Amino acid sequence: MLAQASPASKAQGLAELYGETLGAAAECPTVTPARIDALTTKASARIKLVAADAADATTAGGVLVDFVARGRAEVQSGEETCPQAESEFSQLERELTR
C-alpha cells in the first residue's frame, strides 16, 4: 500500500473525508439525493469555517470534488459496500448536525 501524503490543511483533510463519504453514499440507492444535497451543504460550510483563508477554502473545494469521485469509484469497484458507505454517511450526518 502506498503512503498517502497528509493533507496540507485541516480544511483539505476534512474535504478528503467528507468527499469520499459523500461520493460513496451517492452510489447507494437507499441514500436519497435530498440527504446527499443536505449533507453536502453542511460539509461545505464546515470546510469553509475551518479554512485558513479564501485560498485554502478554494483548494479544499477542489479536494472535495476529487474525493467525491474517489468515493464513487470505491463503491463502483466493490472496494466499499453500500452498507459500509451508508454507515459512514449516517455517522457524518450525526457529526455535522450537532
Residue 45: strand, helix, or coil:
helix
Q: Give the whole-angstrom CA distance, residue 47 versus residue 28.
A: 24
Q: Where are the domains of the chain?
A: 10-96
Query: What is the torsion angle, in degrees rounded to the nearest 10, for the CA atoms of residue 58, residue 64, residue 66 and residue 69?
Result: -150
Q: Is the pLDDT of residue 48 over 60?
A: yes
Which DSSP helix (H) or strand (E) runs through 23?
helix 10-26
Per-residue pLDDT of 58-84, as tens digits, reads 999 999 999 999 999 999 999 999 999
pLDDT for the residue 43: 97
Q: Is the pLDDT of residue 46 over 50?
A: yes
pTM above 0.75, yes or no: yes
